[in-house]
Amino acid sequence: MSTSIDKSTFLRGRLRGDGDIVFAGRIEGDITISGELTIEASGLVGASVNATTVIARGAVRGDITATDSITLENGARVVGNVRAPRITIEEGALVRGHVETGHAGSATKSSARTAVASAASAAPARAAMPVRAAAPAPVVHAAPAAKAAPKPVQVPVPVPVMVPAKKAAAKVVGRAPAPVVPVLKKGAKAKRR
Amino acid sequence: MAGTIIGEGITIEGELSSDEDVVVRGHVRGKLIAKEGVVVEAGATVEADVSGGTMTVAGSITGNVNSTDRVDLQSGAKLVGNVKAARITIADGAQFKGSVDMDV
C-alpha cells in the first residue's frame, strides 16, 4: 500500500523515496519522491516539491517540479514556481509564480544559456588572441601599445625585438593595406617560416 | 482509512507528529510522536525516539520508546533502546536490548 499522511500529521523535515503519496497533513521540508504525489485540500507543504506526478488541491509554498505532469485542481494555492512537461491549472486554482511547461523549453533555455555563456567566454579569448599577436608586430614603433598590453608583450618581445623586426613588419603587411615598410612579401614570409 | 502510513521505499528525516495512528513500512529517522497507536511493520526501520499509545513492533527500532499504553514486540522485531510503558510483551524471536520501565 502506498503512503498516506493524514490531516493531523505534522512533519518537520524531509520526505523522500519511491512510491505514491497522498498528503493531507502539514510539512515544513522538501518532498522528493519518484511517484505520484497528491496534496489534498487540507495539505500544506512549506517547501519545494519534486515528484513524477503532482496533483494538488491544497497549499504549497515553494517550487513544484514534476518529471511528468502537474495538475493544480480547484482549491490549490501555490506560491512558487511550477515546472513540468505538462501542467494543468484548473479553474479555482491559485498560482503566484513562474510557470514553465515542456521539455523542449526548459532544455533549450538552459542549453542556450550555457551556450551563450560559453560563447561569451570564448569570444573575448579569441578576440584577445589576435590583439596580442598584433601587439608585438608594431612593437618597434608602437611603444604605447606595448604598454597597453604588458603581459603578452613581455613574452614575445625579448626575442624578436632585435632580429625579426622584419618578420614583425611582414605581419603588418599581411594585415594592413598600406604598409609603412613593405620589406617582404607574403610568400617570403611563408618561406621563412 | 484514517491515519498516517509511511509506505515502503519512503524515508522521512525529521520530526513526525500525528494525532492518529501511524503505520511505518518505510524508514523514519528523527522523532516520531503519535497520540494513538504506532505500528512498525516487518521490514521497516525506525531510527528515532518513538512515543505514542499502543505500539506494535515487527520491524526495527533504534531509539527510546515511550508508550502511554502498551508495547508489543512481535517475533522478528528488533528494538535497541529503552522502553517506558504500562505493559510490555516480548514475543519469542524478538530481539531487545535496553531497559524497561513499567511504572511499578
Q: Where are the domains of chain B?
A: 4-93
Q: Which residue has the higher pLDDT, A151 or A112?
A: A151
- Residue B12 CA to residue A1 CA, distance in Å, equals 17
pTM: 0.67
8 Å CB contact of B7 and A19: yes
Residue with cell 480547484: A74
8 Å CB contact of B12 and A11: yes
Confidence band of B103 (pLDDT split at 50, 70, 90): confident
What percentage of chain B has pLDDT greater than the value 90? Answer: 95
Half-sphere exposure of A2 (CA within 13 A, CB side): 14
- Residue A180 CA to residue A62 CA, distance in Å, equals 68
pLDDT digits (tens, 9 = 90+) for B49-71: 999 999 999 999 999 999 999 99
The residue-averaged pLDDT of A44-64 equals: 96
B28 touches A at CB < 8 Å: no
- What residues are paired with A36 via a beta bridge? A53
The total of other beta-carbon atoms located within 10 Å of residue A67's CB is 14
DSSP single-letter state for residue A30: -
Distances (CA, A) of A150 to A135, B36, B59: 10, 78, 72
Confidence band of B104 (pLDDT split at 50, 70, 90): confident
Average pLDDT of chain A to the nearest whole number: 73
The residue among B1, B5, B31, B41 with the most chain A CBs within 10 A of its CB, best to mutate, is B5
B100 touches A at CB < 8 Å: no
- What residues are paired with A55 via a beta bridge? A38, A71
- Residue A174 CA to residue A101 CA, distance in Å, equals 53
Give, for B79, the enclosing helix (H) or strand (E). strand B78-80
Going by DSSP bridges, is the β-strand pair B45-52/B27-34 parallel, antiparallel, or unpaired? parallel
8 Å CB contact of B14 and A4: no
Chain B's closest residue to A31, CA to CA, is B12
Chain A's closest residue to B32, CA to CA, is A11
Identify the burial level of A29 via C-beta atoms within 10 angstroms of its C-beta, where 0-12 means exposed, 13-18 middle and 19 or more buried: buried
Output the CA angle A43-A47-A50, nearest 5 degrees: 85
CB-closest option in B3, B9, B30 to A17: B9
A128: left (phi over 0), alpha (psi -120 to 50) or beta: alpha
8 Å CB contact of B26 and A10: no
Give the three-state DSSP class for A121.
helix
- What residues are paired with A45 via a beta bridge? A27, A60
CB A39 within 8 A of CB A22: no
In sequence order, which ranges of chain A are alpha helices (DSSP H)?
Answer: 103-134, 143-148, 150-154, 165-175, 186-192
CB B57 within 8 A of CB B74: yes
Output the CA angle B34-B37-B38, nearest 5 degrees: 75
- Residue A78 CA to residue A185 CA, distance in Å, equals 72
B17 touches A at CB < 8 Å: yes
Residues 24-43 of A with CB under 8 A from B: 25, 29, 33
The residue-averaged pLDDT of A176-192 equals: 54
A20 touches B at CB < 8 Å: yes
CB-closest option in B4, B8, B25 to A6: B4
Distance between first and last Cα of chain A: 78
